[in-house]
């Protein structure tokens, strides 16, 4: 005779805290491709993924490190690079004839004005239709990097070298990040 209740073991990814199956099911029921955004220690990744019977199918992937070929020599994890990454994934979506998607942030916390929403804003601004609230998007001044320029102007040359030494070694000027941002934005959108 048993003295305990039967215990059901949850899915491995749920036990490990890697997947929220309730949220995933809601997203999959939309039937639209998912714009999946993930952050790592060095860069941000955006993917367009659809669900098929055998599992998820990745249609395209773009990493923020690919901005280097457009001339981006700054950090690959800031708001500016996240926005440009969103523009790139929307450009790839247009090439694949995908006009709309749904945002999938996974287990990341939903923080208004964060890098995840900067990717979303870049994708929406470049023509990808994604349902969202305007309240979560970052402000334009932070996306263009003007706050970084203002901070860099306040620093002495020694402090500037300490804070921005990595990007200065690559040949980037922290005092010109917004103009570089606008140039790359124009290249991606096809205006230049």
- pLDDT tens profile 40-61: 999 999 999 999 888 889 999 9
Q: Domain of 35?
A: 17-140
More confident residue, 3 or 75: 75
Coil vs helix vs strand at 47: strand
Residue 96 in domain: yes
Please tell me the least confidently modeled range out of 12-26, 96-110, 155-169.
12-26
Give the torsion through C-alpha atoms of 108, 111, 116, 117, to 10 deg. 150
Q: Whole-angstrom Cα distance, residue 76 to residue 154?
A: 23
Residue 115 in domain: yes
Residue 186 in domain: no
Query: What are the beta bridge partners of residue 102?
Result: 34
Residue 165 in domain: no
The average pLDDT across 78-82 equals: 94
Q: Which is nearest to 191 in space by CA: 157, 159, 182?
A: 182
Q: Which is nearest to 167 in space by CA: 80, 60, 47, 95?
A: 80
Domain CATH code at residue 81: 3.30.420.100
Q: With pLDDT > 70 as the criterion, what percentage of the chain qualifies?
A: 98
Residue 12 in domain: no
| pLDDT, tens digit, 9 for 90 and up, residues 7-41 | 777 777 777 777 777 888 888 888 899 999 999 99
Q: Give the DSSP letter string of 130-173.
A: ----GGGSPPHHHHHTHHHHHHHHHS-HHHHHHHHHHHHHTT--
192 C-beta neighbours (distance < 10 Å), count: 10
In the structure, what pLDDT confidence band is assigned to residue 102 with cuts at 50, 70 and 90? very high
Residue 86 in domain: yes
Domain count for the chain? 1
Please tell me the least confidently modeled range out of 4-8, 42-46, 78-82, 183-187.
4-8
In the structure, what pLDDT confidence band is assigned to residue 192 with cuts at 50, 70 and 90? very low
Contact 36, 49 (CB under 8 A): yes
Given this model, what pLDDT does residue 184 score? 95
């Amino acid at each position: 005779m048993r003295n305990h209740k039967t215990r059901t073991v949850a899915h491995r990814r749920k036990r490990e805290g890697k997947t929220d199956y309730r949220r995933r099911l809601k997203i999959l029921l939309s039937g639209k491709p998912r714009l999946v955004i993930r952050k790592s220690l060095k860069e941000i990744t955006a993917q367009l993924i659809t669900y098929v019977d055998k599992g998820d199918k990745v249609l395209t992937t773009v990493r923020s490190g690919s901005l280097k070929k457009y001339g981006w020599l700054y950090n690959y994890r800031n708001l500016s690079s996240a926005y440009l990454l969103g523009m790139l994934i929307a450009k790839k979506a247009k090439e694949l004839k995908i006009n709309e998607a749904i945002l999938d942030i996974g287990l990341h916390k939903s923080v208004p004005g964060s890098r995840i929403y900067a990717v979303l804003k870049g994708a929406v601004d470049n023509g990808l239709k994604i349902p969202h609230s305007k309240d979560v998007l970052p402000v334009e001044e932070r996306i263009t990097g003007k706050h970084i320029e203002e901070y860099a102007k306040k620093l002495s040359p020694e402090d500037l070298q300490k804070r921005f030494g990595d990007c200065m070694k690559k040949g980037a000027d922290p005092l010109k990040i917004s103009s570089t941002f606008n140039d790359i934005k124009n290249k991606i959108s096809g205006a230049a």
